[in-house]
Amino acid sequence: METIYINTPIGIMKLQGNESGISKICLLNEAIEISTKIPKIFNSSIQQLNEYFEGKRTHFTFQINPIGTEFQKKVWQELINIPYGKTCSYLELSKKLGDVKAIRAVAAANGKNPLLIIIPCHRVIGSDGSLTGYAGGLWRKKWLLHHENPLKQESLF
């Protein structure tokens, strides 16, 4: 398993993967040296993440290999189906998965998402529209949702 660190508009991102695909993308809160030597397996993921942050990409096509239980993978697959620029509540997500009573399990699986941004768990909000937990921090969730919003609010001042 290879590991690299890249700089993004929302902080330093750690990527891990091998020939089977990228298995982990997370955001760090501490300062760490950015990788200067990048193995080939990361070329496509870095390019696509850069395009996403530049506003030129709305979905990802590089190979992923998330590690988790079958239930977690089922939840993560449903997260991938949430369109760019849209949100979904935990309750709606539970209904899509066929069990409204599984809302806590769905939320827990969402919280274990190993591929932030690629599997867009930041698009899941509370039923009342509130921003709820995000492994990268709520400020980053807010930033990502604003970044993906097709109707950008310009500052009046």
Q: Where are the domains of the chain?
A: 2-53, 70-148
* Count of C-beta atoms within a 10 Å radius of residue 39: 12
pTM of the predicted model, to two decimals?
0.90
Burial of 74 (0-12, 13-18, 19+ CB in 10 A): middle
121, 124, 144, 145: the catalytic one is: 121
CATH 1.10.10.10 correct for 70-148: yes
Best CA proximity match to 104, nearest among 65, 81, 71, 138: 71
Average pLDDT, the chain: 93
CB 73 within 8 A of CB 66: yes
Q: Is 88 a catalytic residue?
A: no
- pLDDT (tens digit, 9 = 90+) per residue, 32-63? 999 999 999 999 999 999 999 999 999 999 99
- 89 forms beta bridges with 125
Helices 70-80 and 103-111, axial angle in degrees (round to 10) = 80
Mean pLDDT of 55-81: 96
